[in-house]
Chains A and B, each alone.
Chain A
């Protein structure tokens, strides 16, 4: 698959598929993404959603080892809400093998779901995938 680079910083890169430009992939390139860089990367994706008709987002977290709950809350509660209104409703996530990380994600997500029962993220198509190919296909 051919990927077109759209945005890169020390901790993450944003690309779109050459033959499916409505599919955007954000890949963590570090074990942790500081909150400011996390927000700026997703705000950049927001511009792609608004201007380039991105309809599916794949978040490849396989490099991550540390999960930051406040960043995740912002991502779910603020960013995803705005993106929902702009038409981005399909999310695929690829988690690392690391069980500690996977369990933290599960706990964090339960917490967000419990604290924000009316969040629009409940209406989105959010699924986990085991590979990039799988995330693109499904």
Chain B
């Protein structure tokens, strides 16, 4: 009876050990799969953030360029206007001289 009980206990212990090994194996495999998935998600995220950052930097540079272009064009228009006004003044003076 005692022997039978011991055998049963040993069988039970073996089953438990097997179950434990199987459980740990599954856990380990799952962890590896999860780690790989996590790594992929993180890489995708970082790649998207980098692309967004690059696009933002490009757009910022384009805008800076556009602002500088319009500022310089505005200055050029001012010179054009000044020169035209000077020319008008010159013609006005000549006309006054002719009339005197």
Residues of B close to A104: CB separation below 8 A:
80, 83-84
A35 within 8 A of B: yes
Residues of A close to B80: CB separation below 8 A:
66-67, 69, 100, 104
Q: How many A-B residue pairs have CB under 8 A?
A: 33
Residues of A close to B68: CB separation below 8 A:
34
Binding site for A on B (CB under 8 A): 68-69, 72-73, 76-77, 79-80, 83-84, 87
Can you give 20 A-B contacts (C-beta < 8 A)?
Answer: A31-B73, A32-B69, A32-B72, A32-B73, A34-B68, A34-B69, A34-B72, A66-B76, A66-B77, A66-B80, A67-B76, A68-B79, A69-B79, A69-B80, A70-B79, A104-B80, A104-B84, A107-B83, A107-B87, A111-B83
Could you tell me the distance between the alpha carbons of A8 and B79 in the complex, rounded to whole angstroms? 27
| Residues of B contacting A: mostly | helix
| Residues of A contacting B: mostly | helix
Report A67-83 CB contacts with B as 1/0, cut-off 8 Å. 11110000000000000
If A69-B76, A107-B84 are given as contacts, then 6 extra A-B residue pairs at C-beta distance below 8 Å, sorted by A number, are: A32-B69, A32-B72, A34-B73, A69-B80, A103-B84, A108-B83
Chain A residues with a Cβ closer than 8 Å to the other chain, count: 15
User: Taking CB as reference atom, which chain B residue is nearest A68?
Assistant: B76
